[in-house]
Structures are given as C-alpha cells and as structure tokens.
C-alpha cells in the first residue's frame, strides 16, 4: 500500500546510534525474564540508574538495548558469560529510532487504538518487537504513513445528538 511521505518530528521519537543489525530492544519485563529476577527489581534498577543508560523511551516505556544490558550483567556477575552471544562484529553505525503507538498516533492524528486496528487490518506494518508488552517499530518503517486528512475546509463530520430522542 502506498502512503504519502511526511517525516516524524525529532521531538516525537528517541534516537540512538547503534549498529543497525544488532538492535534488540528490551524493557523491564524482558530484563527481568532474561536475568531471572523480579519485575519490580528490574524496574527499581532502571529508576535508580543501576542499569546501563537508556537507549530509547517508547510510548513512555524505558527501553534498553539487550547487548548493553547483557554486557553490564556479565560485568557485575548477574549473568553467566556462557549464556551471552559473543559481541557482534564491528559494523557501520547508523541512527536507530524507535516509535510506539503513542508516537504514531500523535503523528497521524488518530488514537492509539486506531493504530492497532490499522496494524490488524494490514494497513500498517506489524511491529518489529514487543517491549514490556507494547508494540515497537523502527521509525524508518513508519515514515511513509500520512496523517489523516479531510477535504479542504472541512473537518470530520460529527453527528449531533438525537434532538427528539428519549434520553
């Protein structure tokens, strides 16, 4: 499906420079599961800045890149080095920007539920990841989405309340 090509404003998204081929976003839920700790512990570590610095904030959820967390966990003795994939080869770094339903909805002028409905109908690409249960996309997957537009000089038609109804 072809879309117009507006670009999302930088204020709507978080950015990081990261090897594009090795992005594995995780939130507190995934960190807790992978390290075998309670969710509240992972959340507390994030709030107290015990974890490595955040890479993104998507729809209000703090998001880290798993390789950063895994390296920190090995370094601090919280994860067995044998359970971690070896460091990826050096790759050219590019800016990776993640967006969630909040950012997409704001850009398109629709609700978060409307974003989800569009994904379910195949009108938008499916999310690449789920972080703490929330869908997350690469910004580059969403740049071709156009905001909702109405005919010039007209706004969305809203039906007036039923004047003669019971009610």
pLDDT in tens, 4-27: 223 333 333 344 444 455 789 999
| pLDDT tens by residue, 97-113 | 999 999 999 999 999 99
pLDDT at 73 over 60: yes
Look at residue 131 and give its three-state secondary structure: strand
pLDDT (mean) for 36-57:
95
In this prediction, residue 159 carries a pLDDT of: 55
Tokens representing residue 11 in the block: 């204020």
In this prediction, residue 55 carries a pLDDT of: 93
Q: How far is 158 from 160, CA to CA, in rounded Å?
A: 6
- Which sequence spans correspond to the domains of the chain? 22-83+94-141
pLDDT (mean) for 79-84:
83
Share of the chain above pLDDT 90, in %: 56
Phi, psi of 61 (to 5 degrees): -95, 130
Higher-confidence position of 126 and 166: 126
pLDDT at 145 over 70: yes
- Grade residue 82 by pLDDT with cuts at 50, 70 and 90: confident
Strands 134-138 and 93-100: antiparallel
Report which of 114, 153, 116, 121 is spatially closest to residue 135, judged by C-alpha positions. 116
């Amino acid at each position: 499906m072809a879309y117009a090509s507006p670009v999302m404003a930088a204020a709507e998204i978080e950015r990081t420079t990261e090897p594009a081929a090795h992005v594995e976003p995780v939130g507190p839920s995934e960190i807790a599961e992978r390290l075998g700790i309670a969710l509240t512990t992972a959340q507390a570590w994030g709030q107290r800045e015990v974890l490595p610095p955040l890479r993104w904030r998507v729809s209000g959820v703090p998001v880290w890149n798993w390789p950063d967390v895994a390296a920190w966990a090995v370094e601090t003795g919280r994860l067995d080095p044998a359970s971690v994939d070896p460091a990826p080869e050096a790759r050219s770094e590019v800016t990776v920007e993640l967006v969630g339903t909040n950012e997409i909805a704001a850009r398109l002028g629709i609700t978060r539920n409307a974003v989800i409905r569009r994904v379910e109908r195949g009108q938008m690409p499916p999310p690449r990841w789920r972080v703490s249960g929330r869908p997350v996309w690469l910004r580059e997957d969403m740049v071709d989405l156009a905001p909702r537009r109405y005919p010039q000089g007209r706004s969305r038609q809203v039906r007036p309340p039923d004047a003669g109804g019971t009610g």
